[in-house]
Amino acid sequence: MVVVALLAVWAAAISTSDWISRRVPNAALLLMIVPAVLALMIQGQGLLGESRLGSAGGMLIGFALTFPGYLLRSLGAGDVKFAAVAGLLLGVSRACEMMLGASLLMGALAVIMLSRRLPRQTRFPAAPMLALAFVTEMLAGPLLPVWRR
């Protein structure tokens, strides 16, 4: 439970940084990816108990589902890297759920922004939605019964 609490604090720090400065610090991502990869190499499982293959798949899912947003200039590079690191920590099925939750949160924020008639160029930070979905998935996931083990 200590690891989960530390990961929640880490996600909250990234979320706060993105909300205030619209930047996800690379140092904060390195702070988590180094011990996560070391745990995979030494213990054979991730910080949250995922296998090497599951962690790699989760990282790929986090990256693959956010990279198109980066190409379209809707997401920043830090958001993509954050989603990839969160996917590495969660594994495949839970990364899918995290991305679904983050997408729903981002969609809700987009609707709110449209209702306030903000200019289309207005960018909003994605890391807070990713962080909220990540922490929710850590504490309550997996949420969808199809993916339960």
Per-residue pLDDT for 149 more than 60?
no
Q: What is the pLDDT of residue 72?
A: 87
Instruction: Please give the backbone phi and psi of residue 51, each rounded to the nearest 5 degrees, phi first.
Output: -75, 170
DSSP 98-116: HHHHHHHHHHHHHHHHHHT
Q: Whats the size of the chain, residue-wise?
A: 149
Does an H or E element contain 141, and which? Answer: none
Instruction: Please give the backbone phi and psi of residue 65, each rounded to the nearest 5 degrees, phi first.
Output: -85, -15
Of the chain, the percentage scoring pLDDT greater than 70 comes to 93
Q: What is the pLDDT of residue 62?
A: 96
- Cα–Cα distance measured from residue 142 to residue 140, given in angstroms and rounded to the nearest whole number: 6
Domain positions in the chain are 2-143
Per-residue pLDDT of 53-103, as tens digits, reads: 999 999 999 999 999 989 988 889 999 999 999 999 999 999 999 999 999
Across the chain, mean pLDDT equals 90
Per-residue pLDDT of 11-33, as tens digits, reads: 999 999 999 998 999 999 999 99
Per-residue pLDDT for 146 more than 60?
no
pTM of the model: 0.90
* pLDDT: which is higher, 39 or 124: 39
